[in-house]
């Protein structure tokens, strides 16, 4: 299952069309909206994904517009997709066989916390900012029970995970560089 984190992915964050509850009606909706995001992998950029997605939309017979289409555009094109892009950011990965990666794993294991080694995580964490400008390796030790928790549940923390995290960080601060001297 962890291997899936290494693959590119598209996430549909939400879909909206029409109404429910007291505002619901049996009319045919003329518009629908979706919010999507992508997990990028090395050699992908936000711009390269935008190009691929827009090509796919056009291959389905849609005309892409950037603003709300006017009546003339609607008459000319029976299938319209309004596309708005956010800035996005590139992926970040740290090789697991780097000396830094091995040292962090060894310190964690010596402290009694066998690491789960992943070169990337599944969430939206702009680690690339810390890698700039020289592709500096970045390692993010765990700070909660699981990064796979939905956003609303991230506010919960099992107390033992807090203590484990404190032990891990203390071991890292105390042991960093000790093995390489």
* Phi, psi dihedrals of residue 49, rounded to the nearest 5°: -70, -40
- pLDDT confidence of 90, banded at 50, 70, 90? confident
What does pTM read for this prediction? 0.68
pLDDT at 25 over 60: yes
pLDDT confidence of residue 32: 92
pLDDT confidence of residue 147: 46
β-pair partners for 34: 15
Closest CA to 42 of 128, 104, 133: 128
Q: Are 67 and 82 in contact (CB under 8 A)?
A: yes
Q: Which residue has the tokens 């590119």?
A: 8
What gap in Å lies between CA 137 and CA 118, rounded to an integer?
13
* Phi, psi dihedrals of residue 9, rounded to the nearest 5°: -150, 150
pLDDT confidence of residue 143: 57
**pLDDT tens digit sequence for 114-134:** 888 877 766 667 888 888 888
What gap in Å lies between CA 66 and CA 56, rounded to an integer?
16
What gap in Å lies between CA 123 and CA 72, rounded to an integer?
41
How would you label 107-139 residue by residue, b for 16+ Cβ within 10 Å and e otherwise?
bbeebebebeebebbeeeeebeeebeeeeeeeb
**pLDDT tens digit sequence for 121-178:** 666 678 888 888 888 888 877 655 444 445 555 566 678 888 888 899 899 999 876 6
pLDDT confidence of residue 177: 61
Helical H segments across 93-178, by residue range: 99-110, 128-131, 159-175
pLDDT confidence of residue 2: 60
């Amino acid at each position: 299952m962890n291997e899936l984190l290494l693959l590119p992915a598209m996430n549909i964050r939400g879909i909206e069309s029409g109404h429910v509850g007291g505002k619901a009606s049996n009319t045919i909706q003329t518009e629908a909206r979706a919010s999507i995001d992508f997990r990028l992998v090395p050699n992908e950029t936000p711009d390269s994904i935008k190009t691929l997605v827009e090509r796919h939309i056009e291959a389905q017979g849609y005309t892409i517009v950037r603003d709300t289409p006017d009546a003339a555009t609607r008459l000319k094109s029976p299938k319209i997709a309004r596309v708005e892009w956010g800035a996005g950011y590139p992926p970040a990965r740290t090789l697991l066989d780097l000396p830094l990666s091995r040292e962090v794993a060894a310190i964690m294991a010596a402290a009694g916390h066998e690491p789960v080694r992943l070169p990337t995580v599944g969430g939206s964490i702009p680690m690339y900012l810390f890698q700039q400008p020289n592709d500096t390796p970045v390692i993010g030790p765990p700070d909660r029970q699981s990064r796979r928790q939905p956003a609303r549940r991230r506010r919960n923390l099992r107390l033992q995970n807090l203590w484990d995290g404190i032990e891990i960080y203390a071991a890292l601060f105390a042991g960093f560089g000790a093995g390489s001297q």
